[in-house]
Structure 1
Protein backbone atom coordinates (compact mmCIF):
# COMPACT_ATOMS: atom_id res chain seq x y z
CA UNK A 1 0.00 0.00 0.00
CA UNK A 2 1.97 2.95 -1.23
CA UNK A 3 1.02 6.49 -2.09
CA UNK A 4 3.93 8.69 -3.15
CA UNK A 5 3.94 11.99 -4.98
CA UNK A 6 1.87 10.32 -7.69
CA UNK A 7 0.27 12.10 -10.59
CA UNK A 8 -3.02 12.16 -8.71
CA UNK A 9 -1.38 13.69 -5.65
CA UNK A 10 0.47 16.27 -7.68
CA UNK A 11 -2.72 17.29 -9.45
CA UNK A 12 -4.48 17.61 -6.12
CA UNK A 13 -1.67 19.79 -4.78
CA UNK A 14 -1.60 21.93 -7.90
CA UNK A 15 -5.33 22.68 -7.73
CA UNK A 16 -5.64 23.10 -3.97
CA UNK A 17 -5.68 26.18 -1.74
CA UNK A 18 -3.04 28.85 -1.23
CA UNK A 19 -0.44 26.59 0.38
CA UNK A 20 -0.87 23.89 -2.24
CA UNK A 21 -2.36 21.14 -0.09
CA UNK A 22 -5.50 19.00 -0.06
CA UNK A 23 -8.38 20.86 1.60
CA UNK A 24 -9.16 18.12 4.13
CA UNK A 25 -7.46 15.06 5.53
CA UNK A 26 -8.73 11.67 4.42
CA UNK A 27 -8.96 9.20 7.28
CA UNK A 28 -7.70 6.37 5.07
CA UNK A 29 -4.56 8.27 4.01
CA UNK A 30 -1.89 9.27 6.51
CA UNK A 31 -0.12 12.41 5.30
CA UNK A 32 3.10 13.98 6.47
CA UNK A 33 5.25 16.91 5.48
CA UNK A 34 8.66 18.35 6.25
CA UNK A 35 9.88 21.91 6.58
CA UNK A 36 11.53 22.92 3.28
CA UNK A 37 15.03 23.54 4.64
CA UNK A 38 16.68 22.44 1.37
CA UNK A 39 15.88 22.40 -2.35
CA UNK A 40 12.27 21.20 -2.83
CA UNK A 41 12.96 18.74 -5.66
CA UNK A 42 15.53 16.92 -3.54
CA UNK A 43 13.12 16.76 -0.61
CA UNK A 44 10.34 15.26 -2.76
CA UNK A 45 12.67 12.53 -4.02
CA UNK A 46 13.96 11.71 -0.56
CA UNK A 47 10.77 11.86 1.46
CA UNK A 48 8.78 9.85 -1.06
CA UNK A 49 10.99 6.93 -0.02
CA UNK A 50 10.19 7.66 3.62
CA UNK A 51 6.48 7.51 2.66
CA UNK A 52 7.09 4.03 1.23
CA UNK A 53 8.70 2.91 4.47
CA UNK A 54 5.93 4.29 6.67
CA UNK A 55 3.24 2.80 4.45
CA UNK A 56 4.77 -0.67 4.65
CA UNK A 57 5.42 -0.43 8.39
CA UNK A 58 2.12 1.12 9.47
CA UNK A 59 0.02 -0.78 6.89
CA UNK A 60 -1.85 2.35 5.83
CA UNK A 61 -1.63 4.54 2.76
CA UNK A 62 1.00 7.21 3.39
CA UNK A 63 1.63 10.32 1.33
CA UNK A 64 4.41 12.89 1.56
CA UNK A 65 3.06 16.37 0.86
CA UNK A 66 5.65 19.04 0.01
CA UNK A 67 5.11 22.61 1.18
CA UNK A 68 6.63 25.90 0.08
CA UNK A 69 7.58 27.40 3.43
CA UNK A 70 8.04 26.72 7.13
CA UNK A 71 4.81 28.59 7.83
CA UNK A 72 2.95 26.45 5.30
CA UNK A 73 4.09 23.31 7.13
CA UNK A 74 2.67 24.64 10.41
CA UNK A 75 -0.57 25.70 8.71
CA UNK A 76 -1.01 22.29 7.07
CA UNK A 77 -0.55 20.62 10.45
CA UNK A 78 -2.99 22.98 12.15
CA UNK A 79 -5.63 22.38 9.47
CA UNK A 80 -5.26 18.58 9.60
CA UNK A 81 -4.04 18.54 6.00
CA UNK A 82 -1.09 16.55 7.32
CA UNK A 83 -1.06 14.56 10.54
CA UNK A 84 2.70 14.18 10.99
CA UNK A 85 5.53 16.60 10.30
CA UNK A 86 9.30 16.73 10.39
CA UNK A 87 9.58 20.13 12.07
CA UNK A 88 12.43 22.25 13.27
CA UNK A 89 12.50 23.17 16.94
CA UNK A 90 10.58 26.44 16.54
CA UNK A 91 8.06 25.24 13.95
CA UNK A 92 7.34 22.22 16.16
CA UNK A 93 6.65 24.46 19.15
CA UNK A 94 4.38 26.62 16.99
CA UNK A 95 2.46 23.60 15.67
CA UNK A 96 1.96 21.99 19.07
CA UNK A 97 0.63 25.27 20.46
CA UNK A 98 -1.92 25.41 17.66
CA UNK A 99 -3.01 21.76 17.98
CA UNK A 100 -3.32 20.87 21.68
CA UNK A 101 -2.43 17.31 22.55
CA UNK A 102 0.08 16.96 19.73
CA UNK A 103 3.28 15.18 20.64
CA UNK A 104 6.94 15.27 19.69
CA UNK A 105 7.62 11.57 19.12
CA UNK A 106 11.20 11.26 17.92
CA UNK A 107 14.24 13.37 17.13
CA UNK A 108 17.40 12.62 15.22
CA UNK A 109 20.35 11.41 17.24
CA UNK A 110 22.05 14.68 16.29
CA UNK A 111 19.08 16.84 17.27
CA UNK A 112 19.58 16.49 21.00
CA UNK A 113 22.70 18.65 20.62
CA UNK A 114 22.23 20.62 17.40
CA UNK A 115 24.44 23.49 16.27
CA UNK A 116 24.41 26.44 13.91
CA UNK A 117 27.52 27.34 11.95
CA UNK A 118 28.37 30.93 11.14
CA UNK A 119 29.91 31.09 7.68
CA UNK A 120 32.02 33.92 6.25
CA UNK A 121 33.19 34.79 2.76
CA UNK A 122 36.96 34.72 2.35
CA UNK A 123 37.02 38.41 1.45
CA UNK A 124 36.04 39.32 5.03
CA UNK A 125 39.32 38.00 6.42
CA UNK A 126 37.41 36.39 9.28
CA UNK A 127 39.01 33.28 10.76
CA UNK A 128 37.61 30.47 12.93
CA UNK A 129 37.37 31.56 16.57
CA UNK A 130 35.95 30.48 19.92
CA UNK A 131 33.76 33.58 20.06
CA UNK A 132 32.22 35.86 17.46
CA UNK A 133 34.71 38.69 16.84
CA UNK A 134 33.85 42.38 17.12
CA UNK A 135 34.88 42.75 13.47
CA UNK A 136 31.66 41.15 12.21
CA UNK A 137 29.93 44.46 12.95
CA UNK A 138 29.26 46.54 9.86
CA UNK A 139 29.21 43.56 7.51
CA UNK A 140 26.24 42.01 5.69
CA UNK A 141 24.46 38.98 7.11
CA UNK A 142 21.86 36.44 6.01
CA UNK A 143 19.73 34.15 8.10
CA UNK A 144 17.89 31.17 6.58
CA UNK A 145 14.09 31.03 6.77
CA UNK A 146 12.44 33.53 9.12
CA UNK A 147 11.11 30.79 11.42
CA UNK A 148 14.05 28.41 11.15
CA UNK A 149 15.46 27.32 14.50
CA UNK A 150 19.01 26.77 13.28
CA UNK A 151 18.87 29.39 10.52
CA UNK A 152 17.32 32.26 12.48
CA UNK A 153 16.09 31.71 16.05
CA UNK A 154 19.25 30.43 17.73
CA UNK A 155 21.79 32.46 15.71
CA UNK A 156 19.85 35.63 16.49
CA UNK A 157 19.72 34.63 20.15
CA UNK A 158 23.48 34.20 20.30
CA UNK A 159 24.15 37.40 18.35
CA UNK A 160 22.03 39.37 20.81
CA UNK A 161 23.70 37.61 23.74
CA UNK A 162 27.19 38.42 22.43
CA UNK A 163 26.64 42.01 21.28
CA UNK A 164 23.55 43.11 23.24
CA UNK A 165 22.12 44.44 19.99
CA UNK A 166 19.61 43.43 17.32
CA UNK A 167 21.01 42.07 14.03
CA UNK A 168 19.78 45.21 12.22
CA UNK A 169 21.97 47.26 14.53
CA UNK A 170 25.02 45.06 14.01
CA UNK A 171 24.99 44.64 10.24
CA UNK A 172 24.61 47.04 7.33
CA UNK A 173 22.22 44.62 5.63
CA UNK A 174 20.27 41.63 6.99
CA UNK A 175 18.55 39.09 4.73
CA UNK A 176 16.62 35.82 4.86
CA UNK A 177 17.71 33.28 2.27
CA UNK A 178 14.73 30.92 2.75
CA UNK A 179 16.74 27.71 3.25
CA UNK A 180 20.15 26.50 4.35
CA UNK A 181 21.43 25.47 0.92
CA UNK A 182 20.64 28.94 -0.34
CA UNK A 183 22.48 30.51 2.61
CA UNK A 184 25.64 28.61 1.71
CA UNK A 185 25.34 29.66 -1.94
CA UNK A 186 24.79 33.33 -1.09
CA UNK A 187 27.80 33.55 1.21
CA UNK A 188 29.98 31.56 -1.19
CA UNK A 189 29.02 34.01 -3.96
CA UNK A 190 29.83 37.00 -1.76
CA UNK A 191 26.24 38.28 -1.87
CA UNK A 192 26.42 38.33 1.92
CA UNK A 193 29.58 38.48 4.03
CA UNK A 194 28.29 36.15 6.75
CA UNK A 195 25.47 33.63 7.11
CA UNK A 196 23.97 31.23 9.64
CA UNK A 197 23.47 27.64 8.55
CA UNK A 198 22.32 24.29 9.92
CA UNK A 199 25.50 22.33 10.64
CA UNK A 200 24.10 19.12 9.12
CA UNK A 201 23.36 20.81 5.80
CA UNK A 202 26.85 22.30 5.75
CA UNK A 203 28.49 18.97 6.56
CA UNK A 204 26.48 17.21 3.84
CA UNK A 205 27.32 19.89 1.26
CA UNK A 206 30.98 19.61 2.20
CA UNK A 207 30.94 15.81 1.92
CA UNK A 208 29.26 16.04 -1.51
CA UNK A 209 31.84 18.49 -2.81
CA UNK A 210 29.22 21.22 -3.22
CA UNK A 211 31.18 23.92 -1.35
CA UNK A 212 34.31 25.85 -2.34
CA UNK A 213 36.06 26.35 1.00
CA UNK A 214 38.49 28.76 -0.65
CA UNK A 215 35.51 31.12 -0.84
CA UNK A 216 33.45 30.30 2.25
CA UNK A 217 34.14 28.52 5.52
CA UNK A 218 32.96 28.16 9.11
CA UNK A 219 34.15 30.83 11.55
CA UNK A 220 32.08 29.94 14.65
CA UNK A 221 29.74 27.29 16.00
CA UNK A 222 26.97 27.99 18.49
CA UNK A 223 26.52 26.10 21.75
CA UNK A 224 24.22 23.11 21.29
CA UNK A 225 20.43 23.17 21.54
CA UNK A 226 17.50 20.80 20.75
CA UNK A 227 16.18 21.05 17.22
CA UNK A 228 14.34 18.92 14.63
CA UNK A 229 11.69 16.42 15.64
CA UNK A 230 8.75 14.41 14.34
CA UNK A 231 5.47 15.79 15.72
CA UNK A 232 2.14 13.94 15.48
CA UNK A 233 -1.32 15.43 15.87
CA UNK A 234 -3.05 14.68 19.16
CA UNK A 235 -6.11 13.22 17.45
CA UNK A 236 -4.20 10.58 15.44
CA UNK A 237 -5.56 7.66 17.48
CA UNK A 238 -9.11 8.91 17.03
CA UNK A 239 -8.60 9.20 13.27
CA UNK A 240 -6.52 6.09 12.53
CA UNK A 241 -7.37 3.77 15.41
CA UNK A 242 -6.33 3.07 18.99
CA UNK A 243 -2.59 2.67 19.43
CA UNK A 244 -1.72 4.45 16.19
CA UNK A 245 0.47 7.02 17.98
CA UNK A 246 2.59 4.27 19.50
CA UNK A 247 2.86 2.53 16.12
CA UNK A 248 4.06 5.73 14.46
CA UNK A 249 6.58 6.35 17.22
CA UNK A 250 7.95 2.82 16.90
CA UNK A 251 8.14 3.08 13.10
CA UNK A 252 10.20 6.25 13.38
CA UNK A 253 12.50 4.88 16.05
CA UNK A 254 13.02 1.69 14.02
CA UNK A 255 14.01 3.49 10.82
CA UNK A 256 17.56 2.27 10.18
CA UNK A 257 17.97 2.12 6.39
CA UNK A 258 20.95 4.40 5.60
CA UNK A 259 19.26 5.60 2.41
CA UNK A 260 16.18 6.70 4.32
CA UNK A 261 18.18 8.31 7.09
CA UNK A 262 20.10 10.28 4.46
CA UNK A 263 16.80 12.04 3.67
CA UNK A 264 17.15 14.04 6.87
CA UNK A 265 20.23 13.52 7.13
CA UNK A 266 20.51 11.72 10.47
CA UNK A 267 22.27 8.64 11.79
CA UNK A 268 19.10 7.41 13.47
CA UNK A 269 16.17 8.47 15.66
CA UNK A 270 15.74 8.55 19.43
CA UNK A 271 12.69 9.25 21.62
CA UNK A 272 11.57 12.85 22.10
CA UNK A 273 8.88 14.65 24.05
CA UNK A 274 7.44 18.15 24.21
CA UNK A 275 9.35 19.13 27.36
CA UNK A 276 12.68 18.82 25.55
CA UNK A 277 11.78 21.89 23.50
CA UNK A 278 11.08 24.22 26.44
CA UNK A 279 14.40 26.08 25.84
CA UNK A 280 13.39 26.75 22.22
CA UNK A 281 9.99 28.00 23.34
CA UNK A 282 11.59 30.30 25.89
CA UNK A 283 14.01 31.85 23.37
CA UNK A 284 11.22 32.28 20.82
CA UNK A 285 9.04 34.06 23.35
CA UNK A 286 11.90 36.37 24.29
CA UNK A 287 12.41 37.28 20.62
CA UNK A 288 8.69 37.79 20.03
CA UNK A 289 8.40 34.93 17.52
CA UNK A 290 5.45 33.16 19.19
CA UNK A 291 1.89 34.43 19.14
Structure 2
Protein backbone atom coordinates (compact mmCIF):
# COMPACT_ATOMS: atom_id res chain seq x y z
CA UNK A 1 0.00 0.00 0.00
CA UNK A 2 2.77 2.38 0.89
CA UNK A 3 4.50 1.73 -2.43
CA UNK A 4 1.19 2.25 -4.26
CA UNK A 5 0.65 5.55 -2.47
CA UNK A 6 4.19 6.62 -3.27
CA UNK A 7 3.75 5.76 -6.95
CA UNK A 8 0.41 7.59 -7.09
CA UNK A 9 1.89 10.65 -5.44
CA UNK A 10 4.84 10.54 -7.79
CA UNK A 11 2.65 10.31 -10.88
CA UNK A 12 0.44 13.14 -9.61
CA UNK A 13 3.51 15.28 -9.04
CA UNK A 14 4.79 14.45 -12.52
CA UNK A 15 1.48 15.39 -14.16
CA UNK A 16 1.38 18.63 -12.16
CA UNK A 17 4.89 19.52 -13.25
CA UNK A 18 4.05 18.80 -16.89
CA UNK A 19 0.91 20.92 -16.67
CA UNK A 20 2.91 23.84 -15.36
CA UNK A 21 5.69 23.56 -17.95
CA UNK A 22 3.53 24.50 -20.94
CA UNK A 23 5.04 27.12 -23.25
CA UNK A 24 3.75 30.61 -22.52
CA UNK A 25 2.84 32.31 -25.80
CA UNK A 26 2.10 35.88 -26.77
CA UNK A 27 1.39 37.96 -29.84
CA UNK A 28 1.11 41.59 -30.88
CA UNK A 29 -1.04 43.57 -33.28
CA UNK A 30 0.82 43.95 -36.61
CA UNK A 31 0.97 47.75 -36.58
CA UNK A 32 4.31 48.11 -38.41
CA UNK A 33 6.77 46.31 -40.68
CA UNK A 34 6.71 42.55 -39.95
CA UNK A 35 10.49 42.11 -39.74
CA UNK A 36 10.75 44.92 -37.18
CA UNK A 37 7.97 43.33 -35.13
CA UNK A 38 9.66 39.93 -35.14
CA UNK A 39 12.98 41.42 -34.02
CA UNK A 40 11.28 43.40 -31.26
CA UNK A 41 9.11 40.68 -29.82
CA UNK A 42 11.61 37.84 -30.02
CA UNK A 43 13.76 39.97 -27.71
CA UNK A 44 10.76 40.34 -25.42
CA UNK A 45 10.28 36.55 -25.47
CA UNK A 46 13.91 36.03 -24.39
CA UNK A 47 13.53 38.59 -21.60
CA UNK A 48 10.28 37.06 -20.30
CA UNK A 49 11.70 33.52 -20.44
CA UNK A 50 14.46 34.55 -18.06
CA UNK A 51 12.13 36.47 -15.76
CA UNK A 52 9.37 33.85 -15.59
CA UNK A 53 11.42 30.64 -15.69
CA UNK A 54 9.23 29.17 -18.44
CA UNK A 55 9.62 28.88 -22.18
CA UNK A 56 8.11 31.97 -23.80
CA UNK A 57 7.32 32.14 -27.51
CA UNK A 58 6.24 35.06 -29.70
CA UNK A 59 3.65 34.13 -32.34
CA UNK A 60 3.30 36.67 -35.19
CA UNK A 61 -0.09 37.31 -36.77
CA UNK A 62 -1.14 38.91 -40.03
CA UNK A 63 -3.95 41.19 -38.82
CA UNK A 64 -5.49 42.85 -35.79
CA UNK A 65 -8.45 40.48 -35.97
CA UNK A 66 -6.06 37.50 -36.05
CA UNK A 67 -4.44 38.73 -32.82
CA UNK A 68 -7.85 38.91 -31.15
CA UNK A 69 -8.82 35.45 -32.46
CA UNK A 70 -5.57 33.90 -31.19
CA UNK A 71 -6.25 35.40 -27.77
CA UNK A 72 -9.86 34.22 -27.74
CA UNK A 73 -8.87 30.67 -28.71
CA UNK A 74 -6.10 30.49 -26.09
CA UNK A 75 -3.45 30.15 -28.79
CA UNK A 76 -1.75 32.99 -26.92
CA UNK A 77 -2.08 33.96 -23.28
CA UNK A 78 -0.68 37.48 -23.56
CA UNK A 79 -0.98 40.16 -26.23
CA UNK A 80 0.35 43.61 -26.97
CA UNK A 81 -2.91 45.19 -28.07
CA UNK A 82 -3.98 48.63 -29.11
CA UNK A 83 -6.70 50.31 -27.08
CA UNK A 84 -9.56 49.05 -29.27
CA UNK A 85 -8.24 45.52 -29.87
CA UNK A 86 -7.67 45.14 -26.13
CA UNK A 87 -11.25 46.14 -25.37
CA UNK A 88 -12.51 43.69 -28.00
CA UNK A 89 -10.33 40.81 -26.78
CA UNK A 90 -11.21 41.26 -23.11
CA UNK A 91 -14.89 41.32 -24.07
CA UNK A 92 -14.48 37.89 -25.68
CA UNK A 93 -12.55 36.35 -22.78
CA UNK A 94 -14.16 37.42 -19.48
CA UNK A 95 -11.71 37.82 -16.63
CA UNK A 96 -8.83 38.90 -18.86
CA UNK A 97 -6.97 41.98 -17.70
CA UNK A 98 -4.92 44.89 -18.97
CA UNK A 99 -1.86 44.69 -16.71
CA UNK A 100 0.73 47.10 -18.15
CA UNK A 101 0.95 49.94 -20.62
CA UNK A 102 3.72 52.10 -21.99
CA UNK A 103 4.27 55.31 -20.07
CA UNK A 104 3.38 57.16 -23.28
CA UNK A 105 0.21 55.10 -23.76
CA UNK A 106 -1.49 56.95 -20.93
CA UNK A 107 -1.60 60.01 -23.23
CA UNK A 108 -1.33 58.73 -26.78
CA UNK A 109 -2.22 60.68 -29.93
CA UNK A 110 -2.63 60.48 -33.68
CA UNK A 111 -1.34 62.69 -36.44
CA UNK A 112 -3.10 63.60 -39.66
CA UNK A 113 -0.47 63.70 -42.38
CA UNK A 114 -0.73 65.06 -45.92
CA UNK A 115 1.10 64.88 -49.24
CA UNK A 116 3.13 68.02 -49.98
CA UNK A 117 0.69 68.97 -52.77
CA UNK A 118 -2.08 69.50 -50.20
CA UNK A 119 -2.31 73.17 -49.28
CA UNK A 120 -2.87 72.73 -45.53
CA UNK A 121 -0.42 73.91 -42.87
CA UNK A 122 0.00 72.49 -39.36
CA UNK A 123 -2.44 74.23 -37.03
CA UNK A 124 -4.34 73.76 -33.78
CA UNK A 125 -7.49 74.37 -35.82
CA UNK A 126 -8.98 71.29 -37.40
CA UNK A 127 -8.30 71.30 -41.18
CA UNK A 128 -10.94 71.34 -43.89
CA UNK A 129 -10.64 67.92 -45.50
CA UNK A 130 -13.60 67.74 -47.90
CA UNK A 131 -13.03 65.90 -51.17
CA UNK A 132 -9.51 64.69 -50.47
CA UNK A 133 -8.50 61.03 -50.75
CA UNK A 134 -7.79 59.58 -47.31
CA UNK A 135 -6.25 56.45 -45.81
CA UNK A 136 -6.61 55.01 -42.35
CA UNK A 137 -4.21 52.30 -41.12
CA UNK A 138 -5.74 48.97 -40.14
CA UNK A 139 -9.51 48.84 -39.83
CA UNK A 140 -9.07 47.79 -36.18
CA UNK A 141 -6.41 50.34 -35.24
CA UNK A 142 -7.04 52.72 -32.36
CA UNK A 143 -4.56 55.40 -33.42
CA UNK A 144 -4.85 54.78 -37.16
CA UNK A 145 -8.62 54.46 -37.46
CA UNK A 146 -10.89 54.60 -34.38
CA UNK A 147 -9.76 57.87 -32.80
CA UNK A 148 -8.98 59.68 -36.07
CA UNK A 149 -12.45 58.82 -37.41
CA UNK A 150 -14.00 60.03 -34.17
CA UNK A 151 -12.09 63.34 -34.23
CA UNK A 152 -12.76 63.92 -37.94
CA UNK A 153 -16.51 63.32 -37.60
CA UNK A 154 -16.68 65.31 -34.36
CA UNK A 155 -14.96 68.34 -35.92
CA UNK A 156 -16.52 68.25 -39.39
CA UNK A 157 -20.01 67.19 -38.31
CA UNK A 158 -20.63 64.37 -40.79
CA UNK A 159 -19.56 60.77 -41.46
CA UNK A 160 -16.19 60.20 -43.08
CA UNK A 161 -17.78 58.69 -46.19
CA UNK A 162 -19.46 62.05 -46.77
CA UNK A 163 -16.20 63.94 -46.33
CA UNK A 164 -13.59 62.14 -48.41
CA UNK A 165 -13.54 61.45 -52.14
CA UNK A 166 -12.03 58.02 -51.53
CA UNK A 167 -11.16 56.10 -48.33
CA UNK A 168 -8.56 53.36 -47.99
CA UNK A 169 -7.07 51.17 -45.26
CA UNK A 170 -3.31 50.74 -45.62
CA UNK A 171 -3.02 47.91 -43.07
CA UNK A 172 -0.39 49.49 -40.80
CA UNK A 173 1.13 52.85 -39.89
CA UNK A 174 4.34 52.39 -41.88
CA UNK A 175 2.35 51.80 -45.07
CA UNK A 176 0.12 54.79 -44.34
CA UNK A 177 3.22 57.01 -44.29
CA UNK A 178 4.57 55.44 -47.49
CA UNK A 179 1.27 55.77 -49.34
CA UNK A 180 0.76 59.42 -48.42
CA UNK A 181 4.40 60.24 -49.15
CA UNK A 182 3.98 58.66 -52.61
CA UNK A 183 0.72 60.51 -53.25
CA UNK A 184 -1.40 57.34 -53.42
CA UNK A 185 -3.60 59.14 -50.88
CA UNK A 186 -3.57 62.86 -50.19
CA UNK A 187 -4.19 62.62 -46.45
CA UNK A 188 -3.85 59.87 -43.81
CA UNK A 189 -4.04 59.09 -40.10
CA UNK A 190 -1.02 57.69 -38.29
CA UNK A 191 0.25 56.70 -34.85
CA UNK A 192 2.44 59.58 -33.64
CA UNK A 193 5.10 57.22 -32.25
CA UNK A 194 5.57 55.45 -35.58
CA UNK A 195 5.80 58.80 -37.38
CA UNK A 196 8.22 60.42 -34.92
CA UNK A 197 10.47 57.35 -34.88
CA UNK A 198 10.51 57.07 -38.67
CA UNK A 199 11.39 60.77 -38.99
CA UNK A 200 14.19 60.43 -36.41
CA UNK A 201 15.62 57.49 -38.38
CA UNK A 202 15.47 59.41 -41.67
CA UNK A 203 12.90 57.01 -43.13
CA UNK A 204 10.45 59.77 -44.11
CA UNK A 205 10.98 62.39 -46.81
CA UNK A 206 9.47 65.38 -45.02
CA UNK A 207 9.64 67.41 -48.22
CA UNK A 208 6.95 65.09 -49.60
CA UNK A 209 4.75 64.41 -46.56
CA UNK A 210 3.95 66.56 -43.52
CA UNK A 211 1.94 66.61 -40.30
CA UNK A 212 -1.11 68.88 -40.57
CA UNK A 213 -2.92 68.17 -37.28
CA UNK A 214 -2.24 66.58 -33.88
CA UNK A 215 -5.08 64.97 -31.95
CA UNK A 216 -6.05 65.30 -28.29
CA UNK A 217 -4.68 62.48 -26.15
CA UNK A 218 -6.32 59.16 -25.30
CA UNK A 219 -5.27 55.80 -23.75
CA UNK A 220 -3.86 53.27 -26.20
CA UNK A 221 -1.53 50.26 -26.27
CA UNK A 222 -1.39 47.79 -23.39
CA UNK A 223 -0.36 44.28 -22.41
CA UNK A 224 -3.47 42.16 -21.81
CA UNK A 225 -3.21 38.75 -20.11
CA UNK A 226 -5.76 36.00 -20.57
CA UNK A 227 -7.78 34.78 -17.61
CA UNK A 228 -6.63 31.47 -16.16
CA UNK A 229 -2.84 31.87 -16.40
CA UNK A 230 -2.39 31.18 -12.68
CA UNK A 231 -4.14 27.82 -13.15
CA UNK A 232 -2.05 26.95 -16.20
CA UNK A 233 1.36 28.25 -15.10
CA UNK A 234 1.19 28.24 -11.31
CA UNK A 235 -0.14 30.41 -8.50
CA UNK A 236 1.12 33.98 -8.68
CA UNK A 237 2.12 33.76 -12.36
CA UNK A 238 0.05 36.80 -13.40
CA UNK A 239 1.65 38.90 -10.67
CA UNK A 240 5.12 37.72 -11.68
CA UNK A 241 4.37 38.52 -15.34
CA UNK A 242 3.09 41.98 -14.43
CA UNK A 243 6.25 42.72 -12.43
CA UNK A 244 8.41 41.49 -15.32
CA UNK A 245 6.69 43.81 -17.82
CA UNK A 246 6.75 46.84 -15.54
CA UNK A 247 10.33 46.00 -14.57
CA UNK A 248 11.54 46.03 -18.18
CA UNK A 249 14.40 48.56 -18.01
CA UNK A 250 16.70 47.55 -20.87
CA UNK A 251 17.00 50.71 -22.96
CA UNK A 252 17.44 48.89 -26.25
CA UNK A 253 14.39 46.73 -25.60
CA UNK A 254 12.26 49.71 -24.59
CA UNK A 255 13.50 51.72 -27.57
CA UNK A 256 12.20 49.04 -29.94
CA UNK A 257 8.59 49.75 -28.90
CA UNK A 258 9.46 52.73 -28.56
CA UNK A 259 8.56 53.46 -24.91
CA UNK A 260 10.48 54.98 -22.02
CA UNK A 261 9.01 52.47 -19.54
CA UNK A 262 5.97 50.35 -18.75
CA UNK A 263 3.53 51.27 -15.99
CA UNK A 264 0.56 49.48 -14.38
CA UNK A 265 -2.72 49.38 -16.30
CA UNK A 266 -6.26 48.21 -15.59
CA UNK A 267 -9.34 47.53 -17.69
CA UNK A 268 -11.11 50.71 -16.57
CA UNK A 269 -8.31 52.81 -18.12
CA UNK A 270 -9.78 51.88 -21.51
CA UNK A 271 -13.41 52.81 -20.88
CA UNK A 272 -12.99 55.99 -23.00
CA UNK A 273 -11.95 53.82 -25.96
CA UNK A 274 -14.96 51.55 -25.47
CA UNK A 275 -17.31 54.57 -25.38
CA UNK A 276 -15.88 55.99 -28.61
CA UNK A 277 -16.04 52.59 -30.35
CA UNK A 278 -19.71 52.28 -29.42
CA UNK A 279 -20.40 55.85 -30.49
CA UNK A 280 -19.10 55.38 -34.03
CA UNK A 281 -20.49 51.84 -34.32
CA UNK A 282 -17.29 49.77 -34.21
CA UNK A 283 -18.52 47.65 -31.30
CA UNK A 284 -22.02 46.97 -29.99
TM-score by length of 1: 0.90
- Secondary structure of 2:32 counterpart: coil
1:193 aligns with 2:186: yes
1:171–1:133 CA distance, 2 compared to 1 (3 A): same
- The CA distance in 1 between the partners of 2:247 and 2:200, in whole Å, is 26
In structure 2, stretches of 5+ residues that fail to align are 1-18
Partner of 1:54: 48
Match among 145, 156, 161 for residue 152 of structure 1: 145
Aligned partner of 2:8 in structure 1 is: none
C-alpha separation between the residues in 1 aligned to 2:249 and 2:89?
27
Structure 1 runs (4+) greater than 3 angstroms displaced = none
Where do residues 202-213 of structure 1 align in structure 2 (5 Å cutoff)?
Answer: 202-213=195-206
Match of 1:80 in 2: 74
Cα drift, residue 263 of structure 1: 2.5
Matched, 1:247 2:228: no
Whichever of the two has the greater Rg, that structure is: 2
Q: Which runs of 5+ in 1 are unaligned?
A: 1-24
**2:35 matched to 1:41?**
yes
The SS at the match of 1:124 is coil
Pairing 1:173–2:179 present: no
- Deviation by residue 1:75-114 (Cα, 9 ceiling, x = unmatched): 0000000000000000000000000000000000000000
Does structure 1 residue 229 correspond to structure 2 residue 228?
A: no
SS of aligned partner of 2:124? coil
Give the length in aligned residue pairs: 266
Q: Pairwise CA RMSD of aligned residues? A: 1.2
Give the TM-score normalised by the residue count of structure 2. Answer: 0.92
CA distance in 2, matches of 1:267, 1:172: 39
Q: What residue is the counterpart of 2:110 in the other structure? A: 116
CA–CA distance in 2 between the matches of 1:83 and 1:246? 14
Note the 1:60-75 alignment, pairs <5 A.
60-75=54-69
Instruction: State whether residues 131 and 163 of structure 2, in contact with CA within 8 Å, keep that contact through their aligned partners in structure 1.
Output: yes
